[in-house]
Amino acid sequence: MTCDRLVCANCAGPVNEGRCAVCRAHRERLHREAPLAHLSPAALIALLAALIAVALVAQRVATA
Q: DSSP for 1-64, please give it.
A: --SSS-B-TTT-SBGGGT-SHHHHHHHHHHHHH-TTTTS-HHHHHHHHHHHHHHHHHHHHHHH-
pLDDT at 16: 83
Q: How does pLDDT run across 1-55, given as a tens digit for each residue?
A: 566 778 888 999 888 888 899 988 888 887 777 766 667 889 889 999 999 999 9
pLDDT at 18: 86
Residues 32, 26 contacting (CB under 8 angstroms)? no
